[in-house]
Chain A
Amino acid sequence: MRGQWAYVAISALLAIVSATSFPSLLPFFIFAALLFFLWLQHKRKLAFIVSCSFLFMLPYFHWYDQQNKTNYHEGMLSAKGKVISSPEIDGDLMTFAVETNQGEKLTARYTLKTKQEMKNTNNIRPGDICNFSGKLEKPKNNTNENAFNYKRYLYFQQIHWLYKLDKIGHCTYKPSWKDHLENYRQKMIEWIHHKFPEKTAGFVLALTVGYQNNIPEEDLAAYRKLGIVHILSISGLHVSILIASLYFFLLRLGISKEQTIMILICFLPFYALLTGGAPPVVRASLMAALIMGGTLFKQNMPLSDSISFSFLLMTFLDPYEVFHLGFQLSYAVTFSLILSRQIFQKCRNSLQLLAAVSFVAQTASLPIICYYFYQFSLLSFIMNIMFVPLYTFFLLPLTMITLILTVISSSIGSIFVSLLHTSFTLSSKTALFFSNLPFFMITTGKPTVYLFLLQCVIFIAVFFQMEHKPMKKWGKPILCSSLLTALLLIAGKMTMPGEVTVLDVGQGDSIFIREPGLGNSYLIDTGGMAVFEKESWQMRKKPFSIALDVLIPYFQSKGVEEIEILFLTHGDYDHIGESLTLIKQFRVNKLVIPKYFSREELEKQIVKEAKNRGIEIFELEAGDRITGRTAFHVLSPFTKSDSKNNDSLVLMAKIGGLRWLFTGDLEESGERHMIKQYPKMTADVVKIGHHGSRTSTSDIFLQTIDPKIGVISAGRNNRFGHPHQEVLNRLKKQNVSIFRTDQMGAVQYKYRKSQGTFLFYPPYDTLTK
């Protein structure tokens, strides 16, 4: 069995995946194939153990999942509960985890009302048992395709409710040993904050206690873009270096080898908890403990076995871990590195070794990166070769030394602090420079499961070749696999259906149109959120932006790298509010605006910015048309009126076999004018004007256009009461099916040629009427 435990771990993983992807039998077939091959190899005993692992994990996961239920109901709740995580304060929002006296975990949120309150609530810490009162709300599913699913994220942490607190009552402090450890960690965080310059403190915290939240968002984004963000989290490498240095340090002190190992094994769990218990740290600590434990019993455990045991242990304790991105990356990369031993043996010097390690790690993580982030940087290979040694051999040791010196004496430490500060600033500047080179970002789109698996197969084939052939002959397989991957990417995009998606951007409009295959993409309006004046202490570190957090990730998930035409229907903020951010952060080729568009400062600014960026601008009015694979007819405006809404750009297009009418915020009088000019015009789908306001969508308009479907783009519980009941009644009277983004999430029509289906992304699993 030695050296074979990987198969047992793989079958446990396949069992979990089988259980969650049930109607699809693909993982089960992969397991069957594995069993078949083991049988062929006459590994009967192993085949038996592998089957046991699968047959245990499948019902075990099912049982575990059944236990993950809530005892609460939506609505008000007053309960006694224990704070189990350190509060995160972002602007005026405080978030922490609570375990109620019924033993259920909740995500508590509290909006701080005054600056004074922010200072007071700082005292809340893990181990506090408080009287809470507030309202339980269901966390939402993603309401746009491929967006982050908050409900699922919390579900995997066994959390079913958001607890919006009104009041945090009297607290008593009754900490467990874990709480003590967590509070100690908080003290370290505060201390580091106190001793280091702000920006450097962020990096020091990340590298020492695994606390990433204080790294400036701009730097974090640059590191993420370049594929080197992993060096800012405590990785297996950190753990091994730490263990190795402690090991030799303790031996030097004259402690026996056996005792040293015992001490280190006892120390590891504390270290894992102190650094936040992230999966890579837990994985590395477990592996180290297993290997060191093995030597105590004179057992030389192969790395592939120790990683497999750590996997089996972690998934037994919490099978949901396998859905955690950090867990997936950590295991995929480490396992690949372990298997690539023979590849690394061919390297003759440390530079070659560094390049080979970087290549294997990059290649192994690429399918996962594409699946979650839809893009990767061609520079990431070179960046890893640059930054990994820089951090491992310079910045990390320097950080540790500085920390120790600062503990001993602030004055000696301060020299090192400034050195550290300069180093981090320089490395960030370098990262920022490279991340801003536009050419190197490749947008892949979200791969389908089959594309994902194919990509894995290609990469494994490269590893075979590299393992088998001398280094001189690596060029061909690497080149071939790069070409194949590129081909796969293009094939993936070519087979994508077309779509018209009325995105959920809250109260506002944003409609995305993508032609099938490698066709063009269009966007009608960008949405925009009304911003309320806030004091500086209330501001979030990274305020929510529709363009950055909804639109651009959505485009990227579709493999879209540029918007051919951005249509802006009129100057209201909920339609064009995100335009500036969008054209600054994403490639837009043409801008189409109605005649008489620029009325206020915002419109003028957008036009100016577009001009500066070399975006072609077209001012269109009724009667104009845009030709191309998808033709747009402009039906309004005719003349300038004194209402922005009435001068909305109205577009008609035939897409996927349906006639679509996009009305912007056109009001009743505008509608009347339009149908007078085009009395015979009909449409299958109408984007209902002005979010379903009673001032639009008159009876006569509906009678003339005679739509089958009306799409209303409105925010949940918006303060205007959109859509108005009158409009809903008018639509019902005309037998128009109503699709509302506030209830059904994004309304999406996916089509090939002239056939298509409507899809919805509702926030809650059951639609409430």
Chain B
Amino acid sequence: MRIMGRCLYCFKSIDVRLTWRRLFFLEKDPVLCEECSSKLNVISGPICPMCGRQNEKAEYCTDCAAWEKHPDYHGVIKKNRSVFQYNEFMKEVLARFKFRGDAILAQMFSEPFVKAFHHHFDKSMILVPIPLGEERLLERGFNQAKLLAQLLQLPIIEPLRKTDAAKQSKKSRIDRMKTKNMFTVTDPKQVHGQHIVIIDDIYTTGATVRQAAKQLMNAGAKSVESFTLVRS
């Protein structure tokens, strides 16, 4: 639900005071109140060049070092970039967004999400949102990854299908690294020779995007990168 002049998340009234940039339409009217937007932590400063996690130095984090040693997943994604850090607030927001179906909350990420995408990726890329299992999609009514991808207003293809129904978020990291690939490519022609950016809501261990990337590469994609809303 959206009420004009009120915060998308907490419904308190938003600071509508004019500034120079707002007067000249260089800044859109905010959708969040100052309090809520201050709780969103945008990733900034040095990051891991592989997974985009905020880091002390701009070098590979331990997770990525482990992934790159893995024989199956070595080099399947060129890089991952994310917009926000994971925190308590983000946990609540994502819960409301995904599990309680408040789809309009996607708008609260719109501006930083679009801005970060263009900062890290090229406009010529093709977007592939991570699909939901069929059952889950029916249950939820929308695919959050696709909603996020649509914010970018770039061509979207959906060549992936998810076979395994078990929720990733209930498994441990070791489980995830071991599990059989749960994606299949339904239409390899769409993928062949393309530069692809996988879109997802959250990058936790990197298993999901890597599995998807692996299949896409096998189907003939030129390169695969990924872009997620949150890096936990």
Contacts and interface: CB of A to CB of B under 8 A. Distances in A.
Contacts of B21: 464, 467-468
Contact of A460 (B16, B17, B20): B20
A338 B18 contact: yes
A412 B197 CA distance: 82
Interface stretch (B22-30, B58-66, B171-179, B198-206): B22-30
Contacts of A464: 20-21, 24, 26
Contacts of B19: 339-342, 467
Given A464-B21, A468-B21, A2 B26 contact: no
A302 B23 contact: no
A2 B16 contact: yes
Given A6-B23, A304-B18, 6 more contacts: A4-B16, A338-B18, A339-B23, A340-B20, A341-B17, A460-B20
B17 A3 contact: yes
B43 to A, nearest CB: 18
B5 interface: yes
26 contacts: A2-B5, A2-B16, A3-B17, A3-B18, A4-B16, A4-B18, A6-B18, A37-B25, A40-B25, A302-B16, A302-B17, A302-B18, A303-B17, A304-B17, A304-B18, A339-B18, A339-B19, A339-B20, A341-B19, A460-B20, A460-B24, A463-B20, A464-B21, A464-B24, A464-B26, A467-B20
Contacts of B25: 37, 40-41
Interface residues of A, number: 20
Contacts of A338: 17-18
A303 B17 CA distance: 7
B25 to A, nearest CB: 5
A37 B24 CA distance: 9
Interface of A: 2-4, 6, 37, 40-41, 302-304, 338-342, 460, 463-464, 467-468
A568 to B, nearest CB: 53
Contacts of A341: 17, 19
Interface in B12-56: 16-21, 23-26, 28
Contacts of B16: 2-4, 302
A437 B25 CA distance: 43
Contacts of B23: 6, 339
Residue among B18, B23, B24 with max Cβ neighbours from chain A (10 Å)? B18
Nearest to A307: B18
Nearest to A300: B13
Nearest to A343: B20
Contacts of A303: 17
Contacts of B5: 2
| In the complex, the 4 A-B pairs of residues with the closest C-beta atoms, listed nearest first | A3-B16, A304-B18, A463-B20, A302-B17
A641 to B, nearest CB: 70
Interface in B145-190: none
Contacts of B18: 3-4, 6, 302, 304, 338-339
Nearest to A340: B20
A30 B25 CA distance: 14
Residue among B17, B20, B24, B25 with max Cβ neighbours from chain A (10 Å)? B20
Nearest to B5: A2
Contacts of B17: 3, 302-304, 338, 341
Contacts of A4: 16, 18
A302 B26 CA distance: 20
A135 B20 CA distance: 53
Contacts of A6: 18, 23
Nearest to A462: B20
A61 to B, nearest CB: 24
A162 to B, nearest CB: 43
A468 B23 CA distance: 14
A4 B23 CA distance: 9
